[in-house]
Amino acid sequence: MIDLAAASADSATAHYTELHRSADLSVGSYLIPAGATDPQSPHTEDEVYVVLAGRARLVGPEASVPVGPGSVVFVAAGEEHRFVDVEEDLHVTVVFGPAEHTRRAER
Check pLDDT > 90 for residue 6. no
Query: What share of the chain has pLDDT > 70, as a percent?
Result: 87
pLDDT value of position 52 = 98
* 3-class SS letters over the chain: CCCCCCCCCCCCCCEEEEEEECCCCEEEEEEECCCCCCCCCCCCCEEEEEEEEEEEEEECCCCEEEECCCCEEEECCCCCCEEEEEEEEEEEEEEEECCCCCCHHHC
Query: CA-CA distance, 9 to 103, in Å (whole number)?
Result: 31
Min mean pLDDT across 6-15, 33-42, 56-65, 88-97 is at: 6-15
Mean pLDDT of the 57-84 span: 96
For 22-55, what is each residue's pLDDT tens digit?
Answer: 989 999 999 999 999 999 989 999 999 999 999 9
User: Residue type for 32, please?
Assistant: I
How many whole angstroms separate alpha carbon 41 and alpha carbon 60? 11
Mean pLDDT over 65-82 rounds to 96
Report the alpha-carbon distance of residue 11 to residue 51 in Å, rounded. Answer: 20
pTM for the whole structure: 0.83
Structural domains for the chain:
15-106 (2.60.120.10)
